[in-house]
A and B are shown apart, each in its own frame.
Chain A
Amino acid sequence: MWEADVIGSIWRFFTSVRLALVLILMIASAVLAGTLLDQAPGSVIANSSAYDAWLERAESKYGVWTNVFDALQLFNVFHTLWFRVLIGLLTANIIACSINRWKGIWITAFRTRTRMGDAFFQHARFNASMTAQMPAAAAAERARRALSRAHYRVVSQSEEGAIALYADRYRLSRFGTYLSHLSLVLILAGTVIGGVWGFHDDEFIVAEGATREVGRGTGLSVELVEFTDEYDVQGPPKDFRSEIVIYKDGTEVKRGTVRVNSPMGYDGTRFFQSFFGQTAVMDVKDESGEVIFHDSVPLAWLTRDGERPIGSFLLPDKNLAVYVVGPRSGETDPMVPAGEMRVEMYTQSSGTLTTAENLTQGQTKELAGLSVTFVRESRFTGLQVAKDPGVKLIWIAAGLMVLGLAMMFYFPPKRVWAICKERPDGTAEVRIATTAERDFSQAKDFKNLHERVRLALGIAEEDKSRAEGGKNV
């Protein structure tokens, strides 16, 4: 039956905690690499020439290592196949371990052996033996009450000349491990759902007075009524807010203010304040005086030297691409003086510069045979648009994770067994014992429990006890 052997060894592979440890440490290393090294943005990865340029810049930072890191795909850790394989293996590992342990945990929680043999009471790590001056039945009843008062759930079992007690506490906490481990699986499921059925648009730019469609099948469009930024006297920003109107298929459905930490949502799509900037309202007329362009051009990007804000629009009928460059902020700009806009016109097909001129506000100039006017400055808001149907699942999973960890760490399951045996002289021999790790706080727990039972049985001095711990300080 070689098939059974293969399946058996695959099963053993996936059910080992050692695999979990190895995977966790590997993922931690990968994530660390993703933090330490610059990560190429998604838009750069998608475009091979942009990525080459990105690598060239990276080379100045990482030198000869650039090629090594690139070969290992360390500039894009979180989206690589091997990272996903690691996460997939960990998920399989978690699920396999969960299935594997279920039966054992179920039995320990609900079907525990309530009667232990004499050897257990003598050799358990924590055990104690007492003599009560009363019949076994009375001693067992007192021990039972003492354990109940310590919030233990007690099961008793009578037999010839002896009564066995089993007591436990927080037995359901054994399932905490399921909550926190499966929550990881749910979180991954949530990210997959979000990735497949959700979308993010980080650069949804709307100029004041303009309306823009969200697209992606939402049927929504957004109008920016006004953008406001406020600053403290010392300079740091205090508030950024956009007054927006949301339209669904052309009908106004919601109106309100979006600010940082206070997004606005409609029908699962949410709008977040992200950035803002200036726009230039431009007006272009052709030779006959007909308006062929009139719009607010957001200067939402930076020129190649990274110094000036730049925006663009196309005049396809004229085969022209028009770039509008704003003045450098801070210092005086010799190329674009404050209050002016530089207009550069390129032939769209060849990309060659046709003409470039500076315009002051309200000024009209003849450029490439067209009359171009810089009407006025205005503002745009940069919103982030997000729809993520997986996010609810993620919050549920996060709640389960915390609940599971709290159960495991703060309400750990406890068990104790006791036996009360009738002696010929009418007294009772009472033994209590528990399975536990060598652990200071468990030793303390056992000592407390022993103390409670001892007092309940009316025994003055402590009998022979083998409780360890407590003395190793």
Chain B
Amino acid sequence: MFDVSQYTFVAAFAALALALLMYAVNAIGVRGAARLSLADGGTWSSSSLGSALDSVGRYATILTVNAFIFLTASLSFRAIEAGHGPFSNMYEFSLAFAWSALALYLYFEVQYGMRTLSLLVLPVSVGMMTYATTVPSDIQPLVPALQHNLLLTIHVAVAIIAYGAFATAFGAAVLFLFQRRDSISWLPQSGLLDEIGHKAVMVGFPAMALTIILGAVWADIAWGRYWSWDPKETASLVTWLIYGGYLHARVIRGWRGTRSAGLLILGFGATLFTYYGNLFFGGLHGYG
């Protein structure tokens, strides 16, 4: 089981790296084609270049789906072997983060038929998987504080959904900043990017709230207090507050658009800080 998990991880990694490459070719190609069409005054989608690009994009999607399936398999086999959810150390957590970012990305690609977002979200996944290769991957027995299967699984599963959603929102926000005047023909319209960012936060914000609440429930059981201002706890509160700020900012005139995209980028910074916070600061989440 452990070996199968490692093999499927490598397969997922390879598929994802290739997918990212093809997404990049697709995006650069679309850009070139857009220029071309301006010159001819014709439409590029009917040209042979256009259809070739379309199939590159389709293959990229298929590869991403494959990477997602392999990664799901890798995490599942590992969970079976370990006897608990694959969320107990940085290796497992990084894979889960990568998985969640992929899941959220694929959802938005299907929902909005848009591939450009991959250029920003998939590198987050690839980065997490690369990081996973640098930390020990062997399965360790759980230390006493983590021996609560139900809470461990739900608390962390909800956390990685939030992280994946915030990664997607980050991707949309960065693209938005490039596209805020709708001046780049090969990028999606700014309004749509703004909406994707908002939709992703609508997934991530409640998930983060639930993560914090479940963490508090668990802390109350394990440590006797629901809140200890532990660094990871506090950092997750900061993250949640920033996205709360973002949700409120959207209803204020003048904050929608550029400034709220700025908050999304700041929020993702806070997300990464929350994710790695235990490595820098130790504290109660210092499990490795």
Contacts and interface: CB of A to CB of B under 8 A. Distances in A.
B57 interface: no
A288 B189 CA distance: 95
B74 to A, nearest CB: 24
A28 interface: yes
A237 B244 contact: no
A32 interface: yes
Given A21-B249, A35-B281, A384 B224 contact: yes
A473 B244 contact: no
Interface string A61-82: 0000000000000000010000
B251 A17 contact: yes
Given A31-B237, A440-B192, A237 B245 contact: no
27 contacts: A17-B248, A24-B244, A27-B241, A31-B234, A32-B235, A32-B238, A191-B227, A200-B225, A232-B141, A234-B140, A234-B141, A240-B144, A260-B145, A261-B147, A261-B221, A261-B222, A263-B224, A273-B144, A386-B224, A394-B216, A401-B213, A409-B202, A409-B205, A409-B206, A440-B192, A473-B112, A473-B192
Nearest to A442: B195
Interface string B214-255: 001100111111110101001101100110110011011001
Interface in A206-240: 232, 234, 236-240
Given A200-B225, A236-B140, A270-B224, A35 B191 contact: no
A398 B192 contact: no
A18 interface: yes
B214 to A, nearest CB: 9
B148 interface: yes
B213 A261 contact: no
A262 B145 CA distance: 10
B114 interface: yes
A35 B234 contact: yes
Size range of the chain B interface in the assembly: 35 or more
B244 to A, nearest CB: 6
A155 interface: no
B213 to A, nearest CB: 4
Contacts of B141: 232, 234, 236, 238
A472 interface: yes
B260 to A, nearest CB: 10
Given A21-B245, A24-B245, A388-B225, A35 B277 contact: yes
A234 B238 CA distance: 37
A236 B88 CA distance: 14
A232 B145 CA distance: 15
Interface in A365-411: 384-386, 388, 391, 394-395, 398, 401-402, 405-406, 409
B154 interface: no
Interface in A22-40: 24-25, 27-28, 31-32, 34-35, 39
A28 B241 CA distance: 6
Contacts of A274: 223-224
Contacts of B244: 24
A402 B238 CA distance: 18
B18 interface: no
A406 B205 CA distance: 10
Interface residues of A, number: 51
Nearest to A200: B225
Contacts of A388: 225-226
Nearest to A191: B227
Nearest to A25: B245
Nearest to B213: A398
A272 interface: yes
A391 B221 CA distance: 12
Contact of A259 (B144, B188, B238): B144
Contacts of A200: 224-225
Interface in B165-214: 188-189, 191-192, 195, 199, 202-203, 205-206, 209-210, 213
A462 interface: no
Contact of B220 (A32, A273, A391): A391
A472 B144 contact: no
Contacts of A409: 202-203, 205-206
Contacts of A28: 238, 241-242, 245
Given A237-B144, A274-B223, 20 more contacts: A21-B255, A28-B242, A35-B234, A35-B238, A191-B227, A200-B224, A232-B141, A239-B144, A260-B222, A263-B224, A272-B222, A394-B226, A395-B217, A405-B209, A406-B206, A409-B205, A440-B112, A440-B192, A472-B191, A473-B113
Nearest to B277: A35
A13 to B, nearest CB: 15
B110 interface: no
Contact of A405 (B113, B205, B255): B205
A55 interface: no
A27 B225 CA distance: 22
Interface in B137-173: 140-141, 143-145, 147-148
A151 interface: no
Interface in B102-131: 112-114
A18 B250 CA distance: 11
Contact of B223 (A191, A237, A272): A272
A24 B277 CA distance: 21
A84 interface: no
A312 B259 CA distance: 59
A439 B252 contact: no
A34 B234 contact: yes
